[in-house]
């Protein structure tokens, strides 16, 4: 609960989660059918350095909100909808 809330207490991370709700709309190079959006596209859209965005993605992944898939040199990120829903429902029950 605490780690999840910490992961959400940053504007850039909230924005990343929002963008990934609709990859095709937010990342024109992505057709939405693949295993997610590659880190470079997210980094570019966030307008921060690669290392900074990589850290944000790692925090979101550790919190369970994102899943990562390595495919060749690229790492694709996508939302873990099941765990996101599980979190919001737990919050509704326990908060």
Residue 69 touches which member of a copy of itself, DNA, none, C-beta under 5-8 Å by kind: none
33 binds, among DNA, a copy of itself, none (CB under 5 to 8 A by kind): none
Residue 62 binds DNA, judged by CB under 7 A: no
Spatial distance between the Cα atoms of 39 and 45, rounded to a whole number of angstroms: 10
Q: Is 58 in the site for DNA (CB under 7 A)?
A: yes
Q: Which does 68 bind (CB under 5 to 8 A by kind): a copy of itself, DNA, none?
A: DNA
- HEC string of the chain? CHHHHHHHCCHHHHHHHHHCCCHHHHCCCCCCCCCCEEHHHHHHHHCCCHHHHHHHHHHHHHCCCEEEEEECCEEEEEECHHHHHHHHHHHHHHC
Binding of a copy of itself by 58 (CB under 8 A): no
Are 87 and 2 spatial neighbours (Cβ–Cβ below 8 Å)? Answer: no
Among 55, 82, 86, 90, binds DNA (CB under 7 A): 55
Q: Does 39 bind DNA (CB under 7 A)?
A: yes
Interface positions with a copy of itself (CB under 8 A): 1-2, 5-6, 8-11, 14, 17-18, 84-85, 87-89, 91-92, 94-95
């Amino acid at each position: 609960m605490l780690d999840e809330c910490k992961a959400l207490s940053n504007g850039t991370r909230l924005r990343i989660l929002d963008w990934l709700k609709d990859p095709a709309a937010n990342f024109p190079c992505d057709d939405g059918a693949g295993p997610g959006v590659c880190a470079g596209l997210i980094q570019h859209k966030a307008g921060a350095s690669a290392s900074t965005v990589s850290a944000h993605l790692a925090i979101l992944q550790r919190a369970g909100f994102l899943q990562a898939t390595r495919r060749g040199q690229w790492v694709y990120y996508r939302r873990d909808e099941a765990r996101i829903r599980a979190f919001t429902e737990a919050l509704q029950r326990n908060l």
